[in-house]
Amino acid sequence: MRPSSCFFVMAHDVPTPIRVLQVTGALLFVISLATGGHAYFWRFDAVAPVGTSPWGPAAIDIALFSAFALHHSVLARTRLKQALHALVGIEVERAVYVIVASVLLLACTRLWVPLPGTWYALSGWAWWVGSAVQAAGVIVTLLAARTLSLKELMGLDPSRQVSPRDEAKPLETRGLYRLVRHPIYFGWLLLVGGAPLMTSTRLLFAVISVAYLVVAIPFEERSLVANFGSPYEAYRRQVRWRMLPGIY
Protein backbone atom coordinates (compact mmCIF):
# COMPACT_ATOMS: atom_id res chain seq x y z
CA MET A 1 0.00 0.00 0.00
CA ARG A 2 1.36 3.41 -0.93
CA PRO A 3 1.98 5.79 2.00
CA SER A 4 -0.41 8.37 0.53
CA SER A 5 -3.32 5.89 0.75
CA CYS A 6 -3.00 5.31 4.49
CA PHE A 7 -5.65 7.19 6.41
CA PHE A 8 -3.40 8.15 9.30
CA VAL A 9 -0.33 9.24 7.30
CA MET A 10 0.23 12.98 7.17
CA ALA A 11 1.19 14.87 4.05
CA HIS A 12 4.49 15.79 5.69
CA ASP A 13 6.72 14.46 8.46
CA VAL A 14 5.17 14.96 11.89
CA PRO A 15 6.99 14.30 15.19
CA THR A 16 5.72 11.20 16.98
CA PRO A 17 4.23 13.02 20.01
CA ILE A 18 2.17 15.26 17.72
CA ARG A 19 1.09 12.28 15.62
CA VAL A 20 -0.09 10.55 18.80
CA LEU A 21 -2.12 13.66 19.65
CA GLN A 22 -3.66 13.69 16.18
CA VAL A 23 -4.61 10.02 16.20
CA THR A 24 -5.98 10.32 19.75
CA GLY A 25 -8.12 13.24 18.66
CA ALA A 26 -9.37 11.36 15.59
CA LEU A 27 -10.39 8.34 17.68
CA LEU A 28 -12.13 10.53 20.26
CA PHE A 29 -13.89 12.37 17.43
CA VAL A 30 -15.39 9.12 16.13
CA ILE A 31 -16.29 7.88 19.62
CA SER A 32 -17.95 11.17 20.57
CA LEU A 33 -20.09 11.22 17.41
CA ALA A 34 -21.14 7.60 17.90
CA THR A 35 -21.93 8.23 21.56
CA GLY A 36 -23.88 11.38 20.73
CA GLY A 37 -25.94 9.58 18.10
CA HIS A 38 -26.70 6.73 20.49
CA ALA A 39 -27.72 9.22 23.17
CA TYR A 40 -30.13 11.19 21.00
CA PHE A 41 -31.76 8.18 19.34
CA TRP A 42 -31.97 5.92 22.41
CA ARG A 43 -30.71 7.24 25.74
CA PHE A 44 -32.79 10.40 25.54
CA ASP A 45 -35.92 8.23 25.64
CA ALA A 46 -35.35 8.36 29.40
CA VAL A 47 -37.84 10.27 31.53
CA ALA A 48 -37.30 11.32 35.13
CA PRO A 49 -39.81 10.03 37.71
CA VAL A 50 -43.08 11.90 38.09
CA GLY A 51 -42.74 14.70 40.63
CA THR A 52 -39.08 15.36 39.87
CA SER A 53 -38.32 19.07 39.55
CA PRO A 54 -37.12 19.87 36.01
CA TRP A 55 -35.09 22.94 36.98
CA GLY A 56 -32.06 21.23 38.50
CA PRO A 57 -31.59 18.71 35.67
CA ALA A 58 -32.22 21.42 33.07
CA ALA A 59 -29.57 23.67 34.63
CA ILE A 60 -27.03 20.84 34.53
CA ASP A 61 -27.87 19.98 30.92
CA ILE A 62 -27.66 23.60 29.81
CA ALA A 63 -24.28 23.98 31.53
CA LEU A 64 -22.99 20.83 29.82
CA PHE A 65 -24.02 22.01 26.36
CA SER A 66 -22.81 25.55 27.02
CA ALA A 67 -19.32 24.26 27.83
CA PHE A 68 -19.20 22.40 24.53
CA ALA A 69 -20.68 25.30 22.55
CA LEU A 70 -18.43 27.94 24.10
CA HIS A 71 -15.29 25.96 23.33
CA HIS A 72 -16.50 25.16 19.82
CA SER A 73 -17.32 28.80 19.03
CA VAL A 74 -14.50 30.69 20.72
CA LEU A 75 -11.65 28.48 19.52
CA ALA A 76 -13.10 28.28 16.02
CA ARG A 77 -12.76 32.02 15.46
CA THR A 78 -10.06 32.89 12.95
CA ARG A 79 -8.04 35.37 14.99
CA LEU A 80 -7.72 33.06 17.96
CA LYS A 81 -6.81 30.14 15.71
CA GLN A 82 -4.09 32.21 14.11
CA ALA A 83 -2.71 33.18 17.51
CA LEU A 84 -2.65 29.56 18.65
CA HIS A 85 -1.05 28.49 15.37
CA ALA A 86 1.75 30.98 15.96
CA LEU A 87 2.16 29.89 19.57
CA VAL A 88 2.14 26.07 19.35
CA GLY A 89 1.89 25.26 15.64
CA ILE A 90 -1.09 24.25 13.53
CA GLU A 91 -0.67 20.50 14.16
CA VAL A 92 -0.77 20.85 17.96
CA GLU A 93 -3.54 23.46 17.94
CA ARG A 94 -5.87 21.40 15.75
CA ALA A 95 -5.20 18.14 17.60
CA VAL A 96 -5.84 19.69 21.00
CA TYR A 97 -8.96 21.42 19.69
CA VAL A 98 -10.40 18.12 18.42
CA ILE A 99 -9.53 16.30 21.65
CA VAL A 100 -11.12 18.92 23.91
CA ALA A 101 -14.21 19.27 21.69
CA SER A 102 -14.68 15.49 21.59
CA VAL A 103 -14.30 15.12 25.35
CA LEU A 104 -16.81 17.92 25.96
CA LEU A 105 -19.31 16.33 23.56
CA LEU A 106 -18.83 12.98 25.29
CA ALA A 107 -19.42 14.60 28.67
CA CYS A 108 -22.48 16.45 27.37
CA THR A 109 -24.24 13.39 25.99
CA ARG A 110 -23.13 10.91 28.68
CA LEU A 111 -23.90 13.16 31.65
CA TRP A 112 -27.15 14.58 30.25
CA VAL A 113 -29.71 14.37 33.05
CA PRO A 114 -33.23 13.11 32.21
CA LEU A 115 -36.15 15.51 32.68
CA PRO A 116 -39.70 14.54 33.62
CA GLY A 117 -42.43 14.43 31.02
CA THR A 118 -43.07 13.45 27.41
CA TRP A 119 -44.41 15.96 24.88
CA TYR A 120 -45.64 13.47 22.33
CA ALA A 121 -45.21 9.88 21.15
CA LEU A 122 -46.05 9.27 17.49
CA SER A 123 -47.49 5.97 16.36
CA GLY A 124 -48.75 4.38 13.15
CA TRP A 125 -48.28 6.45 10.00
CA ALA A 126 -47.18 9.49 12.04
CA TRP A 127 -44.26 7.47 13.42
CA TRP A 128 -43.15 6.73 9.87
CA VAL A 129 -43.41 10.40 8.93
CA GLY A 130 -41.24 11.43 11.88
CA SER A 131 -38.70 8.72 11.09
CA ALA A 132 -38.64 9.82 7.44
CA VAL A 133 -37.92 13.40 8.50
CA GLN A 134 -35.02 12.17 10.62
CA ALA A 135 -33.73 10.02 7.76
CA ALA A 136 -33.94 13.04 5.46
CA GLY A 137 -31.91 14.97 8.02
CA VAL A 138 -29.18 12.34 7.94
CA ILE A 139 -29.14 12.31 4.12
CA VAL A 140 -29.06 16.12 3.88
CA THR A 141 -26.21 16.27 6.39
CA LEU A 142 -24.16 13.65 4.55
CA LEU A 143 -24.73 15.26 1.15
CA ALA A 144 -23.79 18.71 2.45
CA ALA A 145 -20.75 17.34 4.28
CA ARG A 146 -19.28 15.90 1.09
CA THR A 147 -17.55 19.24 0.50
CA LEU A 148 -15.75 18.97 3.85
CA SER A 149 -12.56 17.04 4.49
CA LEU A 150 -13.11 14.27 7.06
CA LYS A 151 -9.41 14.17 7.82
CA GLU A 152 -9.46 17.92 8.40
CA LEU A 153 -12.41 17.67 10.80
CA MET A 154 -10.67 14.87 12.69
CA GLY A 155 -7.45 16.87 12.97
CA LEU A 156 -5.46 14.54 10.70
CA ASP A 157 -4.91 17.14 7.97
CA PRO A 158 -4.38 20.46 9.76
CA SER A 159 -2.62 21.92 6.73
CA ARG A 160 -6.10 22.58 5.29
CA GLN A 161 -6.93 24.83 8.23
CA VAL A 162 -6.01 28.06 6.50
CA SER A 163 -7.52 31.51 6.83
CA PRO A 164 -5.87 33.88 4.34
CA ARG A 165 -8.33 34.65 1.55
CA ASP A 166 -5.94 33.71 -1.23
CA GLU A 167 -5.47 30.24 0.28
CA ALA A 168 -9.09 29.60 1.22
CA LYS A 169 -10.95 26.61 -0.18
CA PRO A 170 -13.32 27.31 -3.09
CA LEU A 171 -16.70 28.66 -2.08
CA GLU A 172 -19.33 25.93 -2.34
CA THR A 173 -22.60 27.11 -3.88
CA ARG A 174 -23.88 23.99 -5.64
CA GLY A 175 -26.50 21.42 -4.73
CA LEU A 176 -28.10 21.92 -1.33
CA TYR A 177 -26.17 25.18 -0.96
CA ARG A 178 -28.61 26.65 -3.49
CA LEU A 179 -31.43 25.98 -1.01
CA VAL A 180 -29.91 27.27 2.22
CA ARG A 181 -26.51 28.71 3.04
CA HIS A 182 -25.92 26.18 5.81
CA PRO A 183 -27.43 22.86 4.66
CA ILE A 184 -25.65 20.86 7.37
CA TYR A 185 -27.56 22.87 9.95
CA PHE A 186 -30.77 22.31 7.98
CA GLY A 187 -30.06 18.59 8.15
CA TRP A 188 -29.49 18.84 11.89
CA LEU A 189 -32.81 20.63 12.32
CA LEU A 190 -34.61 17.81 10.51
CA LEU A 191 -32.72 15.19 12.49
CA VAL A 192 -33.51 16.53 15.96
CA GLY A 193 -36.98 17.80 15.12
CA GLY A 194 -38.31 14.64 13.51
CA ALA A 195 -37.99 12.41 16.58
CA PRO A 196 -41.13 10.21 16.84
CA LEU A 197 -40.79 10.18 20.63
CA MET A 198 -40.21 13.64 22.06
CA THR A 199 -39.39 13.39 25.72
CA SER A 200 -38.51 16.50 27.68
CA THR A 201 -34.98 15.09 27.88
CA ARG A 202 -34.69 14.98 24.10
CA LEU A 203 -36.56 18.23 23.53
CA LEU A 204 -34.18 20.23 25.71
CA PHE A 205 -31.19 18.96 23.75
CA ALA A 206 -32.92 19.70 20.45
CA VAL A 207 -33.95 23.22 21.45
CA ILE A 208 -30.56 24.16 22.91
CA SER A 209 -28.59 22.80 19.95
CA VAL A 210 -30.79 24.52 17.35
CA ALA A 211 -30.73 27.79 19.32
CA TYR A 212 -26.94 27.58 19.39
CA LEU A 213 -26.80 27.19 15.60
CA VAL A 214 -29.17 30.13 15.09
CA VAL A 215 -26.96 32.35 17.25
CA ALA A 216 -23.71 31.03 15.76
CA ILE A 217 -24.59 31.50 12.09
CA PRO A 218 -24.04 35.32 11.97
CA PHE A 219 -20.60 34.90 13.56
CA GLU A 220 -19.72 32.08 11.20
CA GLU A 221 -20.81 34.13 8.21
CA ARG A 222 -18.69 37.02 9.41
CA SER A 223 -15.68 34.72 9.16
CA LEU A 224 -16.80 33.52 5.73
CA VAL A 225 -17.02 37.11 4.50
CA ALA A 226 -13.52 37.72 5.85
CA ASN A 227 -12.23 34.66 3.98
CA PHE A 228 -14.12 34.92 0.69
CA GLY A 229 -14.99 38.62 0.48
CA SER A 230 -17.36 39.80 -2.27
CA PRO A 231 -18.09 36.29 -3.66
CA TYR A 232 -19.69 35.31 -0.38
CA GLU A 233 -21.58 38.59 -0.20
CA ALA A 234 -22.99 37.85 -3.65
CA TYR A 235 -23.85 34.32 -2.55
CA ARG A 236 -25.76 35.66 0.47
CA ARG A 237 -27.81 37.87 -1.82
CA GLN A 238 -28.52 34.95 -4.13
CA VAL A 239 -29.47 32.44 -1.40
CA ARG A 240 -31.67 34.23 1.11
CA TRP A 241 -32.26 31.55 3.72
CA ARG A 242 -29.59 30.65 6.23
CA MET A 243 -30.84 27.41 7.74
CA LEU A 244 -34.56 26.77 7.19
CA PRO A 245 -36.17 27.67 3.84
CA GLY A 246 -38.92 30.24 4.18
CA ILE A 247 -38.24 30.98 7.86
CA TYR A 248 -34.58 31.66 8.70
Burial 153-164 (b: 16+ CB within 10 A, else e): bbbbbbebbbee
170 contact partners, CB below 8 Å, separation of at least 6: none
Indicate if the alpha-carbon torsion angle 126, 135, 76, 201 is positive or negative: positive
Q: CA-CA distance, 45 to 170, in Å (whole number)? A: 41
For residue 62, the tally of other CB atoms under 10 A from its CB is 12
Of residues 12 and 144, more confidence is placed in: 144
Give, as one character, the DSSP assignment of residue 5. Answer: G
pLDDT tens digits for 6-27? 444 444 567 788 888 888 989 9
Q: CA-CA distance, 235 to 113, in Å (whole number)? A: 41
Q: What are phi and psi of 93, to 5 degrees?
A: -60, -50
Instruction: Specify whether the CB–CB gap between 176 and 231 falls below 8 A.
Output: no
Of residues 130 and 165, more confidence is placed in: 130
Long-range contacts made by residues 34-43, C-beta under 8 angstroms, separation at least 24? 35/105, 35/106, 35/109, 35/110, 36/105, 36/106, 36/108, 36/109, 39/109, 39/110, 39/112, 40/109, 40/192, 40/195, 40/202, 40/205, 43/109, 43/112
Indicate if the alpha-carbon torsion angle 153, 155, 160, 161 is positive or negative: positive
97, 90, 85: which is closest to 28 by C-alpha? 97
pLDDT tens digits for 145-170? 877 766 777 767 665 544 444 445 67
Note the pLDDT of residue 78: 60
What sections of 75-123 are H helices per DSSP?
78-88, 90-111
Q: CA-CA distance, 25 to 32, in Å (whole number)? A: 10
Mean pLDDT of the chain: 85
Q: Across residues 105-134, what is the average pLDDT?
A: 97
Task: Please tell me whether residue 184 adopts helix, strand or coil conformation.
Answer: helix
pLDDT tens digits for 92-101? 778 888 899 9
Note the pLDDT of residue 19: 85
